[in-house]
Every structure is written in structure tokens, then in C-alpha cells.
Amino acid sequence: MAIFRFSSGDVTGFTVLLALGIMYGVFSFLAYSVTHMKFITPLGIDAPLDRFSEARAVQHVRVLSQDIGVRQEGSPGLRKAALYIKSQLELIKERAGPNVRIEIEETEVNGTFSMVFLGHSISLAYRNHTNILMRISSVNSQENDPSVLVNGHFDTAPGSPGAGDCGSCVASMLELARLCVDSAWVPHRPVIFLFNGAEELFLLGSHGFMSTHRWRDTLGAVIDVEAGGTGGTDLVCQSGPGSWPSYIYAQSALHPMANSAAQDFFGAIPGDTDYRIFSQDYGDIPGLDIIFLLGGYFYHTASDKVERLLPGSLQARGDNLFSLIKAFTNSSMLKNAYERESLREIGTQYHDEKAVFFDFFSWFLVFYPRHLAVILHSIPLAIYFLMPILLRLPNRVLSSSFLTFCDFIKGMLFHALGIVSAIIFPVIFAILRLLFSGTAMNWFSNPFLAFMMFIPCSVAGLLIPRFFWREFPLSQNASRVKTSKEELAGEARFWGAFGLYSFMTLGYLTAGLNGGFVTFLLAVFMLPAWMSFCLSAKSFGHESLRSLACYVIPLLPCLMYSVYFGGFLVAFLIEKLGMTGSLPPPYGYFIPDVVVAAVIGVVTGWCVGPLLPIIGNWLTRPSIMQFLLHGTIIALALSSQFFPYSTGAPKRVILQYTIRTKGDSHVEEASYDFSVVDSNSLLFVFKHAPEVARELHLGSDLSFDSVKPSAKETWMGIFPISFLFSGSMKFSAEKDEVFKQYSLFPALRPHKPQDFFEDGSRRIYLEFSLGSLQEVWVSVLNITGPLSSWSFSNGALPGDLLLFGLVEYLHSP
């Protein structure tokens, strides 16, 4: 008895599907190896002194994150880190040759300024923050010579040992400083290493340098080194002003990792780096913002330890940075502030236009300026409009071309419908899984589950238009153009897909963005693929697997890049969804799964979409559609057996001990404010980690219905990102416990009588006392109501606010 009956067409279709699975599997393995630095061989501790050594850099990371530990502002660890960095720089200085001048400074910065962060206008006042600087220059250099700044911060987030963020940055800079000296390289222009002691606190250290230091006006280029994880792709996330910095990177990086699309979307991420201070808010200095993006599971947590660093990451970063520093110092475009201002006054466009750039598997980087991108990205669309005429020459040009163009439009609509279905299908299955499962984000610690669940149904969505409309609704008469209906339908499907990618490419550029290179690559490589297919079809026929192979082979480079770019995007997204906040129920519970499903649908669309006009002949069969949908259901059921979190991908929670005081010695209320930062609520935490209730001294009769919610205004320790959290809970704490550690509490009181002015405004002088607090992360004064437009910033207001008054901020420990 035969259980399965497959026709020869079904067998061929499954053969094609298997071959595609193997091909994309190889591409995925290669992309994973590249993004996780498997191709980099780290140099050991005994590496030649004229080479960057990851092992030597890791030694610095170990001291900073393991021996010293937490280095948040106000902690003893921060001071220990500053002393360690300075001592290492002094040792480097002792080895310098006679042709090199080494200057080392430790500076204490103070200041005030305003900024808009995540839509919030924030006024900041700070004092006594430590920066360590080293300036390496030739003995013949002048004080005002244009210089290159390399910036990295050595402070950490609260409770984090900061191996990745940003001990890895400091370690890279220390090894680079050593390399500059021990390699006997004499820089053509000065190189300044800024070891920044206050980045986590709203970029205070970099602001202090830009507002007070004598070297600030000499800066001609900035390289900001950052970490959003523990290694992997060291991506250029921001560049500019202009395209000069990214051009230098394209010429010099040994392992290029950059794409202009990153800058288009960086603003959507709730965070900022020192690059903002140097190149946007205060300096307008050309520069690069280079960030470790993988390993984000441990970012800003107690698990950010040296053991979590991805091997090869520091080696690739160091090799790139040393080559990049050399290229910047030798560039004729390197100008100090006075020279840049002079060029502007005479009308010279020093800051040229943006550029489009992307790396191919970190092997090489493609770079072209925006004015060239306007031309290049318009060519596919021009070809799309010309092809109806060229294909119907020399007979009946006008009428036949119009009907051909109508078929192209239909083909484009069919392909667009397939792309939309490829996004909708995974979203539907994600929602259905959550309705029958009690846990969201099962893919969080096992990202392969997301691909298993959503790629098959996404491919099924791509095939839907072809499956339901097997006969393409042609406008042309096949007998008049002397071509078969099958060939005309294939022609319309191909040029429809080509036209869709062409429109998307130009639309992306017209919107002022620089990341349209993905769809541009698809359109460019589809042309030779189609020509190869047409030529092979004359010999082997349109239904031949040989013709299919002739179509696929020219597409291999763009398909490889699509997997590389898309795979990295999904991996980065999955890691970050564990810390993007908890949206209000009931819909907030679905958001992470829906987002991952939709993004995988988009990625599948651009990875498989170029093949669709041809492979659809083999794959649009009921047996294959059933196989894809059944595979999705099995993957969904399997994923429900996995727990979302692990030691390698922990769940984040936030616990704040909140004390409400009156005066400097009376406690009105003490509480624990508890919240999660993803869609699995606190009920999930108490269910799977009952020891949490014991730590909070909660009884077994705890009823969540009676627990008070925690107001967002309470979360001063994480202001202003507290708006990302919902479903927070508030639990009572013993007031007496507070007095065991503190005798006096922070208090705000008038400092001297207020001044009144004729225009009705007034000036109030306040004194902010920290009481008996020994370690202070940040002091937040949240002014609301009619005082919301006051400023601590010497009259420099955040945003477009009007000045009604000025507060003098006195920090009295």
C-alpha cells in the first residue's frame, strides 16, 4: 500500500527545495562564522611587539572587569580604574623613542549643558569627573596641528563589571597606544587617546573634554569606540559629517564591517554614544562611531564578564583601528577647527555629501558617494521602463509595448503580494502560537527556533500568489508576439520582481536614506541571471533544472550578501528584544514575537524573492505547500518545549529600593519597585523563580490582585527610559533598615533668597545635599508643572523651551 504518491513534478520540486535548503544553509554557516569572528586568529601574549595582540588586550580587560570590577560613577572602582589606566600609559611613555613626544594628563571636568534624549529635555550639571588623556606626536609637531582622537569610556553601568562595555574599548586603546610606541611609528599628525570616565551618565566625560580642554580645537577626526555587547561584528554605526570618514575607513580597514543602513536606523535605538557630543552637538568633527553589536545578552548586566568576550573580536578591532589611525593622520582632509571654519567662510564645502557603503562578508567594502548613488540607483528603474519597448522591437512598438508594460505591472503587483504574504504568514503563526502557549519569546536563548518557525511559512507566503493564480492574467496576445504563454508569463514575473526592487531602491534614496544598496544589489544581479537563463533555455528549455542552475549561479553573490546582512539583523534584533521594555497588556505580550516574525519575513523576502520568478515553476505544488506549513506547525510545537532564557541568555529584571523622605532625617515610605524589561511579566518571574518572593520577604499568601502598581515616575534610577516599562509592581520594605546605612538623606532646600525681575521672572537658588550617601550614581531632580522649562545649563535650554528662570546647582556631599 502506497502512503505517499508523488508525481515526477513533486519529486523535482522537493529536489529543488532540498538544493535551496543546502545552499542557504552553507550561506548561513559562512555568515555566522564571519559575524562571530571565526575567521580571525587572535595573536597571543608573545606576539611581536609591532602587532596588535588580543591576548595582551584581554589582560587589561581582566584587570578592569575582574580585579577592579564595577566602575560606575561614585564608586571606588572607578578611581582604581583611572589609576590603572594612567599607570599603564606611564609605562608606555618610558619606552618611547627620541622621535616621539608623549603627553599624559589626568583632568577633572565640571560643567552644565542641556540635551534632548529620547524626546525628553534634560538639563545636566556635573563636577569632578575624571578623564585620562595621552597625546602621541612627533617631536616636530606643533600644539595646533590637526589631531586624531580615539575615545573610549572606562565607567560602567550600575552593577556591571563592564568587560564588553567598555573594558574591551579601554583595553583596545591601551594596546593601540603601546603599539604606536613599540612599532616605532612616528605619526604624521598627533594622535590623542581619551579615556573617558563618564559616558554612561549622559556623555558627561566627552562634554567635559569638548567644553574645557585645550586640545579640543585641534581635533580633525574622531574615532569613538563603543560596545553594545561582548564582541562579534564591530560595526561602523555612524559616520560623518560628510563621507570623508567612511571613505578613509573603506580604504584602510583590514576587516571592514560597515554599512550605511546602520546610520539610517541608529536613531531608533534607545541609546546614545559620545559620537553625538563630538560630531553632532558640540564639535561638528568628522568621525566614526564603531560598536561591538553582538553578545548583547550581557550588555549592562552583572554577566558582562571577560569570559563572555567573543574570541577574535578584539584582534579584528585592533587591526582595523591601527590601520585607520594611520590613514587619518596621513590624510590631507584632516583639518583643525580653525581650518574647517576658514574653509566654510570662503565657501568651500568641507563637509561633503553622505555616501552609500557596505562590506561583503568583511572581505572588502563597496563605497560610492551619494551623487553617484543617485545615478546608479536610478538605472534599474530606467531599464524597467525601457524593456517593454526593447523587447517588442521592431514590430508594433507602441501597442505591444503598452501591453507588455501592463504585464510587467501585474508581475510587480504579484511579487509585492508575495512579499507581503511572506510577512503576514509568520505574524499569523506567531500570534496563534502565543494564543495556545503561555510563554512568549521561546526563541530568545535559541535563535535557531525563530528561523525554524518562521522561514517555512514565509516561503509559503511568497508562493501564495503563484499558487492561487497558476495562469498569469496576460494582457498580451501570445500569437501576435509569437511567444508561448508560459514564456510571456515568466517574462512578466521576472520584470515585475525587478521593477519592484528598482522602485524600492530609488524610493529609499529619495527619502534621504543611504541603505538602499540591498534592493539595488538584487536588481543588479538579477539582470545577468535572467540573460543566463534565457540563453540556457534555448538549449535546455524553460523547465530544465540546468536552466534553473544557470539562473541561480549569477545570483549567488547577492544571495550570499542577503543572508549575511539579514542574518546579522535578526541576530541583533533577538538579543536586543530582551531589553527593549514591556509594553502594556494585552497587546504588549505579542509584540516581540510579532516583530521577530515580521522581520524574518522581510529577510526571507529579499533572500528568496529574486529566485521566485523561476523557482516558482517547481515549488508551487500542493505537496510542497503542505510540507512547508506542516513544518511550521511542528516547529511551533517544538519551540513551546523550550524555556525562553538560559545562563547564556538571561532574563533582565529591574529592582529599585525606593525611599521617600521628608527633610533630611524622616522616612515616609520604603518600598521595592520591581519590573521586567521584556514581554514575559513579573507573574512569569515569580512562577519560575519562587526564590525571588523569599528575597523580597513576601509571604506564601501573596496575591497579585492586591499588589500596588509601581508608577513610572518612581523609576528615577533609570530616567528617562522608565517609559519603556509597564506592569511594574511595588512591594513594601522595612523603614528601619534604611537607618542602618544612612543617618541623613538627600535634601533640597533654598540656598539664599530668590531674586525677582521686572518681567515677572525670578531666580531661585537651591542647595542639593546628598546627606550621608557615600556612593552616588546620579542625582535626578525631576521638575514638573510650571517649572518644567527651568534649566541648570547657564541659560542653554534643551529643545525649544523658553527660559523662565535659572537654577544654580550646588553639589554638597
Chain segment 505-547, per-residue pLDDT in tens:
999 988 888 888 999 999 999 999 999 999 999 889 888 899 9
156: three-class secondary structure by DSSP: coil
Query: 352 near 243, Cβ under 8 Å?
Result: yes
101 near 137, Cβ under 8 Å?
yes
Q: How far apart are the first and last CA of the chain?
A: 87
Q: What is the distance of C-alpha 208 from the center of its chain?
A: 26
Q: Are residues 432 and 560 in the same domain?
A: yes
* Residues 227 and 280 placed together within one structural domain of the fold: yes
Q: Is residue 115 part of a domain?
A: yes
Instruction: Give tens-digit pLDDT for 109-165.
Output: 998 888 888 777 777 888 889 999 999 999 999 999 999 999 999 999 988 999 999
- Distance between CA atoms of 645 and 651, rounded to whole angstroms? 6
Dihedrals φ, ψ of 127, to 5°? -155, 155
- Count structural domains, the chain: 4
717 found inside a domain:
yes
Residue 38 located in a structural domain:
no
Separation of alpha carbons 129 and 717, rounded Å = 19
**Between β-strands 729-732 and 666-676, what pairing exists: parallel, antiparallel or unpaired?**
antiparallel
Asked whether residue 15 is domain-assigned, the answer is no
What nine digits make up the cell of 201?
551618565
Q: Are residues 66 and 113 in the same domain?
A: yes
| Grid coordinates given for 702 | 501573596
Residue 253 in any domain: the answer is yes
Residues 544 and 431 in one domain: yes
Residues 324 and 444 in one domain: no
Kindly report the CATH number assigned to the domain that includes residue 235: 3.40.630.10
> What is the structure's pLDDT at 797?
37
- Are 579 and 727 in a shared domain? no
- Residue 604 CA to residue 610 CA, distance in Å, equals 11
Q: Is residue 40 part of a domain?
A: no
Instruction: For residue 671, give Cα distances in angstroms to 115, 681, 684, 707, 782.
Output: 31, 19, 21, 12, 19
pLDDT value of position 807: 33
The CA distance from 141 to 188, in Å, is 8
Q: 455 with 308, same domain? A: no
Residue-level pLDDT at 788: 42
Q: Kindly state whether residues 489 and 601 are assigned to the same domain.
A: yes
Residue 735, CA atoms < 13 Å, CB-side half-sphere: 8
* Exposed e or buried b per residue across 219-257, where buried means at least 16 C-beta atoms within 10 angstroms of its C-beta: bbbbbbbbbbbbbbbbbbbbbbbbbbbbbbbbebbebbb
Q: What is the pTM of this model?
A: 0.90
Last residue of a domain, one of 739, 758, 773: 739
Name the one residue in this structure whose C-alpha cell is 509568520.
426
At residue 773, what are phi and psi to the nearest 5 degrees?
-65, 130
Residue 474 lies in domain: 376-639
Cell readout for 51 is 602587532
Tell which residue, 305, 300, 111, 159, has the closest CA to residue 775: 159
Alpha-carbon separation of residue 41 from 34, 44, 308 (angstroms): 12, 9, 17
pLDDT in tens, 555-601: 999 999 999 999 999 999 999 998 887 878 788 889 999 999 999 99
Residue 477 shares a structural domain with residue 508: yes
The predicted-structure confidence for 165-198, as pLDDT tens digits, reads as follows: 999 999 999 999 999 999 999 999 999 999 999 9
Q: Which residues of the chain have pLDDT under 50?
A: 1-3, 350, 784-789, 791-813
In this structure, what DSSP letter does residue 707 have? Answer: S
Phi, psi angles (nearest 5°) of residue 669:
-160, 145
Q: Dump the DSSP string for 174-226.
A: HHHHHHHHHTT---SS-EEEEEES-STTTTHHHHHHHHH-TTGGGEEEEEEEE
* SS3 of residue 634 by DSSP: helix
Answer with the one of 338, 361, 384 that is the final residue of a domain: 361
Reference 115, options 238, 345, 281; nearest CA is: 281
Amino acid identity at 350: Y
Q: Are residues 573 and 704 in the same domain?
A: no
Asked whether residue 110 falls in the same domain as residue 255, the answer is yes
Cα-only R_g, the chain: 30
What is the C-alpha separation between 618 and 614, in angstroms, rounded?
A: 8
3-state secondary structure 291-316: EEEECHHHCCCCCCCHHHCCCCHHHH
Are 210 and 291 part of one and the same domain?
yes
Q: For residue range 683-717, what is the model confidence (pLDDT) as tens digits?
A: 888 888 888 888 877 766 667 677 888 877 777 66
Cβ(558)–Cβ(380) under 8 Å?
A: no
Phi, psi of 718 (to 5 degrees): -120, 20
> Residue 3 falls within a domain, yes or no?
no
Q: Which of 333, 361, 389 is the last residue of a domain?
A: 361
Comparing CA positions, the residue from 331, 311, 351, 324 lying closest to residue 255 is 324
CA distance 490 to 784: 64
Tell me what pLDDT residue 245 has.
94
Q: Is residue 27 part of a domain?
A: no
